[in-house]
Structure 1
Amino acid sequence: MRTKDKLSRYSHFSCLFCLVFILFSLTGLSPAIAQQAGSRVDQLTDEQVEEFYRRAQASGLSEAQIEQAAMSQGYTLTDIAKMRRRITEIRSQTNRNRGQSYADTSLGRTLPNGLSRRVIDSLPYTARTDTSRKIKVFGASLFENANLSFEPNLRIATPRNYIVGPDDEISIDISGASSDSFRLKITPDGTVKVPNIPPIFVSGLTIEQAEQRIIDRLRKGGYQGLGSPGSGTYANVSLSNIRSIRVTLVGEVVRPGTYTISSLGSAFNALYLAGGPNPETGSFRKISIIRGNRVVRTIDLYDFILRADQRDNIRLLDQDVIRVADYETRVELTGEVRRPAIFEVLPGETLKNVLSFAGGFGDEAYRASITLRRNTARERRIVTITEEQIASFVPQRGDKYFVGKILERYENRVQIAGAVMRPGDYALEPGLETVKQLINRAEGLRKDAFTNRATIIRERADMDRENLSFDLGKLMRGEVADIPLLRQDSLTVLSIQDLRETYYVTIEGAVNRPDTIEFVNNMSVADLIARAGGFQEGAKPNLVEVARRIRQDSAGIRTTTLEMYRFALDRNLQMSPLETNPASPSDSAAGFRLQPFDIVYVRSSPNYEAQRQVFVFGEVLHPGNYAIFNRQERIADVITRAGGLKPGAYMAGARYSRQGQVVGSDLRHILDDPGAEENLLLNDGDTLFIPRQSEVVAVEGAVLNPSVVSFKLGYDFDDYVSEAGGFTDNARQRKAYIIYPNGRKDRTRTFLFFKSRPRVEPGSTIVAPFKPMDTNRLSGVERASILSIVGTLVITVLSRFF
């Protein structure tokens, strides 16, 4: 509810009068608009909408007051919504065209116009490589990162110590018993103008001091009791829009100059715009902020990089100067440290500080000493810095420190490998100083350990290695003295299996999974057959043979090279008595066990054979697959089983194929004379194709027009070639041949000057081969060159005689 004081009533009528003036002025911009149909907002141009927005802002009315006054003048809620949308779109488009980003004043705080932006070069600074160094200056990458601009956050609350100045915009909201709202921009003179109140000077005050001064003047100007306890009228003063300030960066920065930033901008923000300190010459630890010719803060960027300390990132004021000094001392630290780089050192700092800048030693660093290369007046010298000197050693300009890597060597390691329970590396220490103690620490020997001999590989003083062998069994039993161990000793205990071939047995023949498997003791023939998946259907279980190597040495030379054993088994893997072995007549089937390298053969039954079949198709009554009935069945027999030939069958063109290849046979006589040679025995997978009679002849190869022509009874070989245009110039006429439809071939025969061409049958293919290309034939240019050389030689020879 509004108060009835004089200032409030005057302000209310003044605002309404101003709004009515704006609306009538707006309609006066285009008198014809009111006479046109449709929404008046749609008929306004962008320039008219911007003019309306500018005048509405200058009126000082709140958004709600403008909407109410517009509705009283005939504008609908739809018109108002359209107007707000068009204002937002036009302002967004304007900001994009300027390449800057601003917030809508109805949404919150905005950035001022004309702020400096970081220069984006065609070749960014991050892409420039320094060819004089292979290692970077520590901290140089901080300002190369485009995602770390240090721009101020406009959504934070206004800092209470913020000093207001010209172009800042202050928002005043009055609520409670009185309700009002003002957006006041500070003039270049440093004042704000509240309607009906004399100008209020606020420039140079903090936002808190400006708030107190403005409220005090409003209270005196008509808002009685404003801000006083119990009055029921409250005021809130905030910074709605901020101004821009200008700061200057000088010294060793990448891009020195004067930059325009927001009044909330910080020192890091300004340094980012200038590209940061110059990595070649600038200091990262002595950056001065000068205000009124006095240094108010010195920035050490290492505090921020290493500890995220932003105490020096202070907010800048107008006309502040940031100076980046030249560096005084820089040193290089490389090798086994976490952050190898070039570091800047301040007076009073030691090598320990430099190590902390680099993140300390790496995991494999040699810490006993650090190698230093230091420049002298005429040359360089090497300095070795011990671990005890690091904390007090003072770096000098141009020092290069290198941290080495520890050696791949152990000061107290011994090793044990082979047939022990826990092979590996162990520490040579009290309680583990001898071979026996090492074996006990490895939890003893395995059962397959070969105890007659063990070896120690020992490193001599000259780094050569020597072998020490001993009887491990006697040592473990205490029959010989225990052997002391030295650093780097490697003890190897052999296994029995290491000293023999790999044992295996093999099974072949009519079993489901013939294989070679690892030998295990106490394995019988039946066990091996079971592991091979049992007998195949065609197996003959009562004929199983075992071939065994002769392992026993003998004085003489034996006539046999191995021992053979035969067994009779049934399908249940029950073994019948073993045939008597002349070498061991006491052997029995029950006690027979396989030995390493035995080969077991399971024979197939002589009467067992898988089905075999041939495929017959074409001009037969019943085409399809036919099983081969017996081993004497021939082509004529399978034709008869297929029901014989159809009336249109052409036996001269019948093709008989075996394993994918055509067998060149004339099958025309097999039906009349089954004893003809062409009546072949059938094999598994054979194919017989009996076509219909063909009525064409194909002519291919070195003819003018390779084609297919119709068969004519009176035509011979040459006639069909003529039908294809005759031979070409590069045809080998004497080598022309014919391929008959049954797969047989016939060639042209010559005797003296006589040629005998093969006869032509329907479905045949005449082939005229091409002459081979003469790659050795000389070209015309080559022949002319040779003749010229020969002529020159002849002239030279003749000139000697005449």
Structure 2
Amino acid sequence: MNMKPRPIVTVIKVLSLAMAASSVPALAAGSYADQISGSSFGTSNNSMSQDQNRNNINVSTQAFAGGVSGQATPQEAVNASSLPSQSVINTTRPYQDINTQDMMFGEQLFRGAFSTTSGSTFNDSYVINPGDNVQVRMWGAYQYAATMTVDPQGNIFLPNIGPVRVSGVQNGSLQNVVKSAVSRIYRSNVGVYASLEQAQPVKVFVTGFVKQPGYYGGLAADSVLSYLDRAGGVDPTRGSYIDIQIKRNGQMLQQVNLYDFLLAGKLQAFSFRDGDVITVAPQKKTFEVGGQVQNEYTFEFDVNDLTIGDVLQVANPAANATNVSITRSAGRAQTAEYYSLAEAQNVPVYNGDQMVVTSDRYAGTIAVQVKGAHTGNGAMVVPYGARLKDIVPQLQPSPLAKLTHLTIYRESVAEQQKRMINESLDRLEELTLATQSTTREEAALRQDDAALVKQFVAKARNVKTTGQIVVVPNSWQDIILQQGDIIEIPAQTSVITVNGQVRAQGALTFNPDYTVGDYVANSGGFSDNADVKEILVIHQNGASEVVNTAYRIQQGDEIMVLPKVKTKRVEIARGLSQIVYQLAIAAKVVLDL
């Protein structure tokens, strides 16, 4: 499936329904949920009964049509005179500060969880239909017990009573309807109990902009979500999450807005019959929001008065968010607008707008931590844009500190390291699965390789990267610090650590005359799985070297003996070796193979 390019917003791929609800805490206390479902993101008739829907079909259709006709064009949006002129910056390029990933809000609903779940027959709002099974028991002066199927006329037949119409009756009212019919004949001394035993199996058409239109079986009590999920869900590139219609014999009985369910937990029950049609309308207007928010999504809307204030209530900005940038397009022309969050509350949102919520990068200070051989404060506050050379004079190193081996740990670097490792793991898995076997022996080798790779990948994906930045001696002064950086000052040490494929991993005292081979020998020697040709040495400042056993160690070094790759396929061996090396550098661990 081809996804529409969305060049602005980084979108979370996996967001659970619980998060969508919990990230809008104001909904429970205020009326915003009603605003979302009623005016801000589209019109919904979920709260109507089926009879009310029949009487209000034209009203709801006009509400959607009116929303479209009143929408300003992109050119009108760009030229809107109500916007403060000092906030508009003409540009020909979109905001490019974050990576691009997109997901429609609502797309997370359709992962198969609803398709295998049948509706409860004991839902009080379930409407009884012909074909449903009703269990009736009478006791006292007259005794009777039977399970009856509602006939095509909508009746069940009780002895001595006659036909009792139950079609169209809600399950919660079934007991009273049957009891009332019995009491017309037996006025006293007869008890009655009636319950719905089994809902009627039905088949429903699911069409419009879904991934797999078709004719799907289920129960009459199944929710519209179940049928949509069986059809693969709403097509996120073309379908609407706020305009889903349920029709019977060409007449619309209910209009569903899935944002009601996602944001407020509202989903009216509906009793399906054979031949009912669920139609997903074309996608309405959309906007994107990302950056410093909890809900990074592309949202759908169909009203004329949506504002950034409305958007922010759903997107839920982070505590440190201060500003929002908006990119708008009119043909090939683009404008970018930049506001503080307070100024942006009443700024209108138009179709195709791309919003990025940010923290003001040019104001205030940042905080960095100082760890290791340091006697001063563990945290320091410095101006935004400060460099390492600005903070070094403020450090209070201990007598054993080695400032020449200072190192920095940064969260964004750790994330980048993790992403690169995961990409390498993905390529390795694809390579393993893509290779074809022509003989039985090759098939056996391929199976062994697949098992090896699967086990290794499972361990590698759980490794946590450090985010260490190697500070090069001649250029450390100009390193620009970032919020949350950790500056570590190592202490002089006479200990050498030996890890990986040796028989006894541990720490040994430094001997200036010892080579790598000597330290390995004092650690019990190489294990049977060791790669003795290439040994990794990591210095205290994070710099690394691949050496042989004759290399002379420096104080504080760490020796890491990597494993041999046990496969005859050169391309897989190369991939495994590369990832083992990446993990040793980025996470300071040696994974066995």
- Same-fold call, TM cutoff 0.5: no
TM-score by length of 1: 0.33
Greater share of helix residues, 1 or 2? Answer: 2
Structure having greater relative contact order (Cα 8 Å, sep ≥ 6):
2
